[in-house]
């Protein structure tokens, strides 16, 4: 990857030069383009979605170790800002689990780099309590899909899944944008900004898409792991995953992430999104009734108000500045 590639990536991954084709969107939904634009502005201003950008999926190759971490950590502003600004951490959540008050999702190059990071941030600070980590190589993930839930819930009565009041037009626009429909990259804008021909930009981007360095442009929820107002659930399960169970979880839109782990009796990590504890319980009982191989589970509930950080931009910016 040369300097031009990185310059292009910095732009598209921050949303510069990425736009919604209002003409095609309004034509498809049979509304005026001004109406479409005002609904998009409303969805963004209300914090339901982020403006469109390209997700830097090369993160999973650059930092191929996912760490699920638990820590008893001071909650004063100084300490919390360290974690919020830390580029390794992409998810930070308040919890009450045994002796721990924080849960984090992090990406690292390897176990050694995580240990160095952990020593500097936790062990050298006497005010930090116990910590525990579960290592998951990214190739152990059987599913990672941040927008699967809303892409599949297209029925009108499912709009409550985002915990916001939306009319038909806003809901349909939301569905389209999360799916990346009518979201494009203005190669002329990027070419002009970088002083190169638009065809050069297009060729570079085509190669990046082909090599899965970035995903196609799309809109995302501000909380990458769960829609607004919903309950994020982290579950450690003990199970022999049959092909049938694997297919079931992979195709279930509630499941954001699913990975193999080795943590005491637990064999798999499940990250999912639900309306409430009651709906999660119903969903879980249905899965257990269908698949007897699910033996045990440890569940952590994270309501939306306990989400401190849930984004990849800090890590993306760091990687593209190296």
Burial classification of residue 223, based on how many CB atoms lie within 10 Å of its CB (0-12 exposed, 13-18 middle, 19 or more buried): buried
CB 101 within 8 A of CB 53: no
Phi-psi region of 163 (alpha: psi -120 to 50; beta: other; left: phi over 0): left
CB 178 within 8 A of CB 166: no
Q: Phi and psi of 259, rounded to 5°?
A: -145, 155
Digit-by-digit pLDDT tens for the chain (322 residues) are 899 999 999 999 999 999 999 999 999 999 999 999 999 999 999 988 999 999 999 998 999 999 999 999 999 999 999 999 999 999 999 999 888 999 999 999 999 999 999 999 898 888 999 999 999 999 999 888 766 666 565 544 555 556 567 888 998 999 899 889 999 999 999 999 999 999 999 999 999 999 999 999 999 988 888 888 889 999 999 998 889 999 999 888 889 899 999 988 999 999 998 989 999 999 999 999 999 999 888 999 999 999 999 988 889 998 988 7
Dump strand ranges (E) for 37-110. Answer: 65-71, 89-97, 100-108
Find the Cα–Cα–Cα–Cα dihedral 31, 37, 38, 42, rounded to 10°.
120
Distance from C-alpha of 88 to C-alpha of 315, rounded to nearest angstrom? 6
Q: Which residue has tokens 């910016």?
A: 317
Indicate the domain borders of the chain. Answer: 3-57+147-210, 227-307
Measured from the Cβ of residue 130, the count of other Cβ atoms closer than 10 Å reads 12
Measured from the Cβ of residue 100, the count of other Cβ atoms closer than 10 Å reads 18
CB 184 within 8 A of CB 199: no
Residue 123: predicted pLDDT: 86
Reference 59, options 2, 10, 8, 107; nearest CA is 107
Dump strand ranges (E) for 145-265. Answer: 183-185, 231-239, 255-263
CB 122 within 8 A of CB 130: no
The CA distances from residue 26 to 31, 150, 312, in Å, are 5, 20, 30
Q: Phi and psi of 308, rounded to 5°?
A: -95, -40
Distance from C-alpha of 90 to C-alpha of 81, rounded to nearest angstrom? 14
CB 4 within 8 A of CB 196: yes
CB 201 within 8 A of CB 54: no
CB 173 within 8 A of CB 29: yes
β pairing state of 89-97 and 307-310: antiparallel
Query: What tokens were used for 288?
Result: 């257990």
CB 221 within 8 A of CB 174: no
Residue 147: predicted pLDDT: 63
Distance from C-alpha of 147 to C-alpha of 167, rounded to nearest angstrom? 20
Measured from the Cβ of residue 291, the count of other Cβ atoms closer than 10 Å reads 16
> Counting runs of H as helices and runs of E as strands, what totals does the chain give?
13, 12
pTM for this prediction: 0.89
Q: Phi and psi of 70, rounded to 5°?
A: -120, 140
β pairing state of 65-71 and 100-108: antiparallel
Domain 227-307 has CATH 3.30.70.920: yes
């Amino acid at each position: 990857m040369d300097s031009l590639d990185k310059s292009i990536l910095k732009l598209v991954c921050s949303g510069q030069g990425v736009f919604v084709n209002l003409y095609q969107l309004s034509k498809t939904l049979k509304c005026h383009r001004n109406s479409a634009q005002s609904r998009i502005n409303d969805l963004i201003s209300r914090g339901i979605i982020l403006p469109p950008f390209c997700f830097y999926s090369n993160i999973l190759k650059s930092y191929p170790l996912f760490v699920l971490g638990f820590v008893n950590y001071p909650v004063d502003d100084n300490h919390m800002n360290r974690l919020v600004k830390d580029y390794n951490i992409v998810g930070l959540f308040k919890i009450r689990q045994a002796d721990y008050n924080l849960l984090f999702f992090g990406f690292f190059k390897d176990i050694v780099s995580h240990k160095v990071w952990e020593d500097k941030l936790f062990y050298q600070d006497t005010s930090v309590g116990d910590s525990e980590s579960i290592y998951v190589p990214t190739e152990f993930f059987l599913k990672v899909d941040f927008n699967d839930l809303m892409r599949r819930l297209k029925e009108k009565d499912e709009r409550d899944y985002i915990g916001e009041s939306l009319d038909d037009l806003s809901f349909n626009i939301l569905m389209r944008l999360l799916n990346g429909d009518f979201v494009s990259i203005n190669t002329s804008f990027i070419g002009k900004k970088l002083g190169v021909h638009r065809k050069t930009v297009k060729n570079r981007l085509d190669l990046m898409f082909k090599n899965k360095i970035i995903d196609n442009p799309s809109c995302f929820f501000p909380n990458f792991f769960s829609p607004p107002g919903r309950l994020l659930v982290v579950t450690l399960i003990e199970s022999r995953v049959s092909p049938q169970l694997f297919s079931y979880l992979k195709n279930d839109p509630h499941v954001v992430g699913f990975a193999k782990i080795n943590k005491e009796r637990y064999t798999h990590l499940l990250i999912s999104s639900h309306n409430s504890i009651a709906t999660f319980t119903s969903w879980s009982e249905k899965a257990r009734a269908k698949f007897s191989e699910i033996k045990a589970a440890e569940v952590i509930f994270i309501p939306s108000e306990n989400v401190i950080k849930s984004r990849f931009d800090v890590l993306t910016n760091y990687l593209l500045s190296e």
